[in-house]
Amino acid sequence: MPNWFIPLAVVCALMFATAPILIANAPYESTMGLVQKIFYVHLPSAWMFLLGAIICGMASVRFLFRGDPRQDRLAWAAAELVVLFGVLTLVTGPLWARKAWGVWWQWDVRLTASLMGWMVAVAYLLLRKYGGPGSEKLAAGLALFGMANVPFVYISVNYWRTIHPTTNVVPSLPTSFGVPLWFSALTFLLLFVLLLRIRVRLEEQRARVDTLYLSMDA
């Protein structure tokens, strides 16, 4: 593992220990009250979900055009993180919505597009797992759709009628809400980087195992 991994993991662990204190001290939102505090894990999870889809898509583009196996490994690792952070987003969102909106789920554009993006990532992983030889290029093509979905998810709340808050909420946040949010987002970003690196490492080791088996057969 690279030299920066352990220090960054320690910093990330300290930030994870500190974040609940900041979140607990953040004020209650006027209409939603206590349940609004789900925001501090829901939004960073959603950002990492979208970031993972972008990384997976970009790495897949590079893999398709250059054939670089390192990009393929990066795309595979990122797809797994898309599924992980997508689950966090799609579970914490309804828990918040049940109290704030009175329903678990709304078939509005953002929620539906997010679900579709998550399902694309699941399809990517299933294809890699069970698709057999050649599935990496098919999966890379699928990842492009996952990436194309990202701007759609992001801007959808500004263009279609929905009860989901718009993208103007975050830039207009008062400091008392903003500090815990950005701290939590930075913590999630560090975690994302660490998990991506360790997941890429797993694929690198698997590639070495494959190379050794091939050299034994030869």
Partner 1 sequence: MKLLSALLVVFVSCAAGGALVLAQQPPPQQQDEFVPIDQLPPQDQLPAAPLLVAAYSFVVLALFAYVVSVARRLTSVQRELERLETDLKRGSSA
- In sequence order, which ranges of 32-101 are alpha helices (DSSP H)? 39-66, 69-100
The contact mask relative to partner 1 for 3-42 (x = CB under 8 A, - = no) is: ------------------------------xxx-xx--xx
In the structure encoding, which two tokens stand for residue 47, read together?
A: 């950002």
8, 13, 96, 131: which one binds partner 1 (CB under 8 A)? 96
- Contact criterion met (CB below 8 Å) for 119 and 143: no
The contact mask relative to partner 1 for 132-171 (x = CB under 8 A, - = no) is: ----------------------------------------
Residue 37 is given by DSSP the state: G
- Contact criterion met (CB below 8 Å) for 162 and 97: no
Among the listed ranges 65-73, 81-89, 134-142, 163-171, the one in contact with partner 1 (CB under 8 A) is: 81-89
14, 21, 126, 148: which one binds partner 1 (CB under 8 A)? 126
Identify residues 173-202 at the interface with partner 1 (CB under 8 A). Answer: 191, 195, 198-199, 201-202
Nearest to 117 by CA among 60, 66, 52, 67: 52
In the structure encoding, which two tokens stand for residue 5, read together?
A: 């991994």
Q: In terms of C-beta density within 10 A (0-12 exposed, 13-18 middle, 19 or more buried), how is residue 91 classed?
A: exposed
Q: Computed over its alpha carbons, how large is the radius of gyration of the chain?
A: 19
48: contact with partner 1 by CB under 8 A: no
3, 133, 216, 217: which one binds partner 1 (CB under 8 A)? 216
- Contact criterion met (CB below 8 Å) for 207 and 69: yes
Binding site for partner 1 (CB under 8 A): 33-35, 37-38, 41-42, 45, 84, 87-88, 91-92, 95-96, 98-99, 103, 105, 107, 115, 119, 122, 125-126, 129-130, 191, 195, 198-199, 201-202, 205-206, 208-209, 212-213, 215-216
